[in-house]
Structure 1
Amino acid sequence: MPHWLDLLPSHEKQKIRERCRSPEEYERLREKVKGPEDLEREMKVNESFASLSFQLETQPKLRESLKDQIRQDIEEYGIEKVLEVPLEAGEFEVLIEENPDTHEDQLVVAPEGNVSESIPIKPQFTEKYLAMFG
C-alpha cells in the first residue's frame, strides 16, 4: 500500500520537505509543544474552572457572593481594571465561557435580560476569583 506522500506530485513533496526543514517552521512547531509544567498548570486551572462552574450551578449563595465581590472590585479598582469592556449599567450574571481566540475557559459577566453578549473579566481578577471561590 503506497504512503500518502508517494501519491503527491513531486513539486508538492518538495514544498513539504522545505517547510519541514525551515528554522521558522521548526520554531513554530516547537512553540506549540507544551512541557509538563505547562500541562500541570493548565490542568489545575481547568480543575478550578470545573469546580467553580459546578458550584455556581448548585449554590446560588456562592453565585451571589461572587457577584458581590465583582461589584466591590469594580467600585474599588474601576470598571476598566476589572472588565475587558465596560459594562453600561445594571445587574449582571457571572458565567464561565470559552475564549474564542485561546479556547481556554474564562470568567465573564453578562448583563441580565435577553443579551447574547458577555464581557470577559481580566485575567488577574479571574485568577483572584478562582483562588477565592474555586
Structure 2
Amino acid sequence: MAFELPPGLRERMKKAKKKMSPAAYEKLRERVKGPEDLEKELGHMEHLANLQFNMESEPRVKEKLKEKIKEDIESAGVEEVLEGNIEGDFDVSIEENPDTHEDQLVVAPEGNVSEKIVIKPAYSEQYIAQFSNGSEGS
C-alpha cells in the first residue's frame, strides 16, 4: 500500500521545511496522521455514525444504551463511568467536542439543560461497539 506524492509536492515540502523552525516543523509532524491512524479514525467515526443512526431510527436502542449506562454507574460508580457528576434521569447523544472537533458519546440531564457530561473513553468505546451494529446491545 505505497503512497506516492504528486509531482513537485515533495520538493515544495522540502523547501517549506527548510524555512520553518524545528519546533514548528515538529508541531506540524504531530498533526500528520499515518494510514493506520486514519483507518482507525475512520472506523471509529463509522461506528459513531451507525450508533447515531440506530439511536434515531430505533428508540429501543437508545433506551437500552441508557439502561446499560445506568447499570454501569450503579456498579462502578459515577466517577468511573463519567467525566463529571449527574443525578437523576439523563439523555444520551453524540456531540462534537469543542476542543478536538471529534464526535463523542455524552449524557445530559433531562430537561432544558445545556450541560453535557462526557462518558469516559473506555466505557464509550464499549457502548459504541455494543450498540452501533443495531442489535440493541444484546
TM-score greater than 0.5 by the shorter chain:
yes
Query: Which deviates more, 103-112 or 18-27?
Result: 18-27
**Greater percentage in helix:** 1
Alignment of 1:1-134 (within 5 A): 20-87=19-86, 89-134=87-132
**Percent of aligned positions with the same letter in both sequences?**
57
**Paired letter, 1:108:** V
TM-score in terms of structure 2 length: 0.81
RMSD: 1.5
Deviation at 1:20, TM superposition (A): 3.3
- Greater C-alpha radius of gyration: 1
Q: Which runs of 4+ in 1 moved over 2 A?
A: 17-21
Instruction: Name the structure, 1 or 2, with higher relative contact order (CA <8 Å, separation 6+).
Output: 2
Relative to structure 1, is the Cα distance of residues 19 and 120 closer, same or farther in structure 2, using a 3 angstrom cutoff? farther
Cα distance in 2 for partners of 1:23, 1:45 equals 32
Cα distance in 1 for partners of 2:17, 2:127 equals 47
The count of aligned residue pairs is 117
Relative to structure 1, is the Cα distance of residues 18 and 133 closer, same or farther in structure 2, using a 3 angstrom cutoff? closer
Q: Contact 1:84–1:120 at 8 Å: present in 2 too?
A: yes
Relative to structure 1, is the Cα distance of residues 64 and 27 closer, same or farther in structure 2, using a 3 angstrom cutoff? same
